[in-house]
Chains A and B, each alone.
Chain A
């Protein structure tokens, strides 16, 4: 009985420590949904009244890779962490710079963990 409690306590401590130290793909998904999905989502309006088509990130990547890589960022398995960081902090074409008061350093690590979770 006592052993179980101690073990449970240790497990809680371990998770707490883990949560602080290593990136969480789960939280990465939450941050991604807030900051990236509006452009990189999978569910897009069919066409925009001003021209252009659907979601900017998803449709642009569809054109860029012509189906050789998934247009939806979350389905990619080839994204390098440094590349994601460079794009988010430096911008790329219409995608502008994201500041640390918007997506903090640790949140970006979480996003990276999420986007690279299925990497080969």
Chain B
């Protein structure tokens, strides 16, 4: 049985029995078999000594029980690690940052407290998954649309606290950015409400999020300053219709103009999440560059002239972008017309193709076979098909992956540079490059481009060592280029945070001062995103 660091077996046993008094025996998990359920299924250290593993888990049913758990942990100096739905796959799963922590599994706190279809918000507890919230809305026929990440079993709270993202209009895709009001329990067991929730009897907790004074909500995300027990989220009113249209531009060099125009439309709220592609290269994101591209790249990164020739030889346009419009029919059709006019004015040879047009919400039977659930705010797990066994991967489907999203300025040049850096780094490690000159960005956050690396993880130490070396090198290379990686799993959090070193790590030092004041014993999620309690802050000035 794993123990928390510097805690004796006796002390741990006493703590566990006090946890049991707080939540009931049934909800303290301490057998090896039960604790193993909190392993990160996609761990990049699977079965190695560095794999992050819990010592136990405890599952409270309400805020009072969370307070009691925190007080017990504080008294005994036991590190605890809160999770909401614990499905943070690729970014650590349900496993703690510090091995030996007790996971506080909030899955049982699963009440949807309110959904207001006139003011368009939801107030939920941590264990409420996107599936749960969606079903709640469906059962009541409420006129709102969710913005969901691909996997529907995660939660608005867990996802947003790791800065997770979705697929609809820009204000909603940023899940933390669309939250309004939270309640959390401090390391001392006190309950705090932010924003207007701090005023007893406030009627606008989910309507106005600044309250009065500093907005401290940001301290609860990618950090370890408290355990969030409630959060409000702004929702989009259910749009009457959904329409898509695809713009293609003929030449490699047209990407620049395409990007600028897409940014114009996004920042004017005239389109939902744009989706870039490359017809010439047949697709954008893939585990492996298509064969002709591999040939094209044999002698290094091709010149623009060679790329233009390649495009002409393919006889297909170099780039495409699908625009997605949400709203009344008159409006979405007009938006698409306006977009066509603007692209036509700016890129010679731009062409346009109408896509889907659906009245919303789609009936359940039509949704079941609809492959575009995420852009419609409908939770699903279909994304896992991309990594599952298929005719090509028959013998070796992925066992997991560690994602690395490089955040770039919205410039054509930055996208090509990032693709090139990733392609060269993959080659250096003998991994077939997944990136190429036609790699396209993803726009989860409307103001930044993402070029993504999906690094495989395995239940095999030798293969994981290779993946780790690649992943770690990618973090370094991103930083050398000035690109932030927005999120990572515990194995790389210290490395990633070390890149935010402006003025002798002033930001981290500030966070550490807060940590020392708010959680002096450092019991909540020690080490999460590089924030260690004073006693564990070795190796840093």
Which residues of A line the B interface, CB within 8 A?
34, 38-39, 41, 43-57, 59-61, 63-64, 89-91, 93-102
Contacts and interface: CB of A to CB of B under 8 A. Distances in A.
Interface string B88-108: 010001100000000001011
Nearest to B371: A45
B388 A52 contact: yes
Interface in B272-295: 275, 283, 285-286
Contacts of B107: 99, 101-102
Contacts of A90: 36
Nearest to A92: B399
Nearest to A41: B368
A54 B385 contact: yes
B224 to A, nearest CB: 22
A52 B386 contact: yes
Given A44-B369, A63-B390, A56 B381 contact: yes
Nearest to B34: A100
Nearest to B392: A63
Interface string B132-167: 000000000000000000001100000000000000
Nearest to A42: B368
A72 B105 CA distance: 32
A100 B391 contact: no
Given A39-B381, A56-B382, A99-B105, 11 more contacts: A45-B371, A47-B371, A49-B371, A52-B386, A56-B384, A89-B33, A89-B37, A90-B36, A94-B397, A99-B37, A99-B86
A101 B59 contact: yes
| Secondary structure call for the A interface | loop
B386 A38 contact: no
9 contacts: A52-B383, A59-B390, A63-B390, A63-B391, A96-B41, A96-B89, A97-B94, A99-B38, A99-B105
A44 B367 CA distance: 10
A89 B35 CA distance: 11
Contacts of A50: 285, 383, 386
A60 B389 contact: yes
A52 B380 contact: no
A60 B385 CA distance: 8
A49 B385 CA distance: 11
B479 to A, nearest CB: 28
Given A48-B382, A52-B390, A99-B105, A38 B152 contact: yes
A53 B285 contact: no
Most buried by B among A41, A47, A99: A99
B388 A60 contact: yes
A38 B39 CA distance: 22
Q: How large is the interface on B (under 10, 10 to 19, 20 to 34, 35 or more residues)?
A: 35 or more
A64 B369 contact: no
A55 B369 CA distance: 10
Contacts of B37: 89, 97-100
A19 B152 CA distance: 30
A53 B275 CA distance: 19
A45 B382 contact: yes
Most buried by A among B131, B371, B382, B385: B385
Nearest to B400: A94
Nearest to B89: A96
A101 B389 contact: no
A56 B400 CA distance: 14
A91 B275 CA distance: 32
Contacts of A45: 368-371, 382
B394 interface: yes
A93 B369 contact: no
Given A56-B381, A56-B382, A93-B398, A48 B371 contact: yes
A55 B386 contact: no
Contacts of A56: 381-382, 384-385, 387-388
B42 interface: yes
A96 B388 CA distance: 12
A14 to B, nearest CB: 26
B29 interface: yes
B372 interface: yes
Contacts of A63: 389-391, 394
A38 to B, nearest CB: 4
Interface in B348-398: 368-372, 380-391, 394, 397-398
A54 B275 CA distance: 20
Contacts of A89: 33, 36-37
Nearest to B398: A94
Contacts of B59: 101
Most buried by A among B37, B275, B286, B391: B37
A100 B29 contact: yes
Contacts of B29: 100
B189 to A, nearest CB: 22
Nearest to B399: A93
A64 B389 contact: yes
A39 B369 contact: no
A54 B390 CA distance: 11
Contact of A93 (B153, B383, B389): B389
Contact of A59 (B94, B108, B385): B385
Nearest to B384: A56
A46 to B, nearest CB: 7
Nearest to B132: A34
